[in-house]
Amino acid sequence: MSGFVHSMAGPVRRVASVGLGELNHHGETVGRHLGPVGRAAGFYVGSWQRWLAPPEDQTSTVVPFPSPALGFGALLDESLLSMGRVFRRPPEPEEFVRIRSEVNDAIDLFSRRGWLDDPSGYFPEPSPAEPVIRQTRLLGGLRFERFRFESGYEPDHEEPGRTRWLARETNRTGHAWVLRHDAPRPWLVGLHGAGMGFPRADLFAFRAAWLHHGLGLNLAFPVMPLHGPRRIGVAPSPGFPSEDPLDTIHGVAQAVWDTRRLLGWIREHEHNVVGIAGLSLGAYTAALTAGTETDLSCVIVGVPTIDFAELFERHAPERFRHMPEFSELVGQARCVNRVISPLALPPQVPHDRRFIFAGIADRLVHPRRQVATLWEHWQQPAIHWFDGSHVGFLWSGAVRDFIHHALTNSGLVPDEVA
């Protein structure tokens, strides 16, 4: 664990490796069957068990103090997971047949093209976006512009699922919320999490008022594919990631493509000092973009998702697990997802400009299997573990300080700016 914890807010205790999101406690075992409230309560009871009676015969790690805020964050995490389980419809048997066939074809194609060995070839460089300012809006004292631009993303002509993906007309238009100063300033591009893509949610989650007015940055928040105004119909759950690996692959590839198009516009028309930050699903996209872009001033990923197959396997609705096709689909996803894995590309951003923050009690993203894996792949850059859940960064002053440190060290913000 040496070097694993960069900083930690609040009281902590070094205990055995049952920490970091593991569910090995009696309270949590009971809570699994009682819905989000029961699971959160079980986790909170287990946290007290870890805190008060840590085992003495295992290797050292860190467990946060079980504060009321930790319990509340766990409840929010579990509620988000439950919503996803409710709205995710398991594929019909014929859909499983179609998915399995398409994924096998994709694995064959990606292997022949060499993309499984070197995924960099899967991400061609796009031309800069040509955005149209649709409207200027005021939200909570923040004035922002709504950009709209043609995405231009298309899966390869041989890729399975190409026709289905391109048939989603609404998704072919990119959107972004942009906050600009009158004078030239450095830029930060923020990539939102799953289920977001709306101005109120995105500007709040990224503390846009502080970044824009307090630190003086220009900001751009592109909308992920199949999110916000790009979603199809009134679906209550995001269109990706999904149980269909190819839809997930195309969603991520388009998110990277659109982000790079926006970065190209910023460099061409605005400023050449630009960093990127992402939250959860957006952190996945930011980490992957950092493996394709050579001119980023920094990359900051928060509560990062890194492995969709592991996430799907651990959080799939119970009704999925009883289907014989489930384990086969997970195995296929592990293979085909390599073409979009941030772990398959070396980061192009210098080591001292890579930053990670994550919750040590995250209920959605496993701290060891997801966050620590990225940290190792990035050669152990600066990392901040806050004593909270997946959504706990929203009210963490320590996370804000860490982000300020990252932006200052990367040259986006002068040292004297508070």
Can you give the pLDDT at residue 134?
A: 79
Share of the chain above pLDDT 70, in %: 74
Which segment of 49-53, 105-109, 270-274, 354-358 scores lowest on mean pLDDT? Answer: 49-53
Residue 68 sits at φ, ψ, to 5 deg, of -55, -35
Share of the chain above pLDDT 90, in %: 54
Rounded-to-integer distance, Cα 366 and Cα 354, Å: 20
Q: Enter the CATH code of domain 93-409.
A: 3.40.50.1820
Domain boundaries, the chain: 12-87, 93-409
> Tens digits of per-residue pLDDT, 44-71?
455 545 544 555 544 445 556 555 556 5
Closest Cα to residue 256, out of 163, 374, 153? Answer: 153
Can you give the pLDDT at residue 88?
A: 54
Rounded-to-integer distance, Cα 259 and Cα 249, Å: 15
Q: Are 386 and 67 in contact (CB under 8 A)?
A: no
> Tens digits of per-residue pLDDT, 340-352?
999 999 999 999 9
Q: Are 69 and 388 in contact (CB under 8 A)?
A: yes
Here the tokens at position 244 are 């269909």
Q: Identify the band that residue 87 occupies on the pLDDT scale cut at 50, 70 and 90.
A: very low
Which segment of 170-179, 384-393, 396-405 scores lowest on mean pLDDT? Answer: 384-393
Radius of gyration of the CA atoms of the chain, in A: 21
Here the tokens at position 48 are 């007290």
Q: Identify the band that residue 309 occupies on the pLDDT scale cut at 50, 70 and 90.
A: confident
Neighbours of 152 (CB within 10 A): 15
> Tens digits of per-residue pLDDT, 12-47?
444 333 344 443 334 444 444 456 555 545 554 555
φ/ψ region of 161 (left if φ > 0, alpha if ψ in -120 to 50, else beta) reads left
